[in-house]
């Protein structure tokens, strides 16, 4: 029963984030949307740059915008891909910048979720105190 209670509570929280049920939920939703849109934009810009830097290089696997987009997306998602590393110096610098960006995004997401959990816990504790529920350790 405990597992079902936890899952039910979590699904309610996800619903509240999606529809911005409280200011705390709206703040998390806005942060997630901003990070998501920024990442899509960075991915597209990096794909164009990767194509421009690499498509004239010998032995490169980035020979079209589609392959460049695939490479940039997999690099940011996995910090690795099935493609070989860039051949040109600007391509290698771009690779490092994308990996730093991806690590920064993961850190920002962890911070946003941590702040949400702390704030939401305080809200729920306050609601329980207002109802007169006994304190739990």
Q: Is residue 136 part of a domain?
A: no
What are the pLDDT digits (tens) for 13-71?
888 888 888 899 999 999 999 999 999 999 999 999 999 999 899 888 899 999 999 99
Whether residue 1 contacts residue 9, with contact meaning beta carbons closer than 8 Å, is answered with: no
Alpha carbon 31 to chain centroid distance?
10
Rounded to 5°, the CA angle 39-62-71 comes to 30
Q: Please count the structural domains in the chain.
A: 1
- Residues 15 and 30: their CA atoms lie apart, in Å, by 14
Q: What is the pLDDT of residue 135?
A: 63
The CATH number covering residue 51 comes to 1.10.287.70
Q: Is residue 98 part of a domain?
A: yes
Q: Is residue 130 part of a domain?
A: no
For residue 58, the 8-state DSSP code is T
Residue with tokens 């979590």: 10
Q: Is residue 105 part of a domain?
A: yes
Q: Is residue 7 part of a domain?
A: no
For 108, the domain range is 30-125
Q: What is the pLDDT of residue 37?
A: 96
How does residue 80 score in pLDDT terms, banded at 50, 70 and 90?
low
Does the model's pTM come out above 0.85?
Answer: no
Whether residue 74 contacts residue 26, with contact meaning beta carbons closer than 8 Å, is answered with: no
List Cβ neighbours of 54 (8 Å cut-off, separation of 6 or more).
Answer: 60, 62, 63, 68, 86, 87, 88, 91
What are the pLDDT digits (tens) for 98-113?
999 999 999 999 999 9
Q: Is residue 66 part of a domain?
A: yes
Q: Is residue 51 part of a domain?
A: yes
Q: Is residue 78 part of a domain?
A: yes
């Amino acid at each position: 029963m405990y597992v079902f209670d936890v899952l039910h509570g979590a699904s309610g929280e996800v619903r509240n984030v999606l529809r911005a049920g409280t200011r705390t939920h709206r703040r998390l939703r806005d942060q997630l949307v901003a990070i998501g849109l920024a990442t899509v934009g960075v991915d597209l810009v990096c794909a164009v740059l990767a194509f421009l830097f690499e498509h004239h290089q010998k032995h490169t696997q980035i020979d079209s915008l589609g392959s460049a987009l695939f490479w940039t997306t997999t690099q940011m998602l996995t910090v690795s891909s099935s493609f070989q590393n860039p051949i040109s110096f600007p391509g290698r610098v771009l690779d490092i910048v994308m990996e730093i960006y991806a690590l920064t995004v993961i850190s920002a997401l962890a911070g946003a979720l941590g702040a949400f959990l702390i704030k939401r816990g305080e809200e729920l504790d306050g609601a329980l105190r207002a109802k007169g529920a006994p304190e739990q350790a």
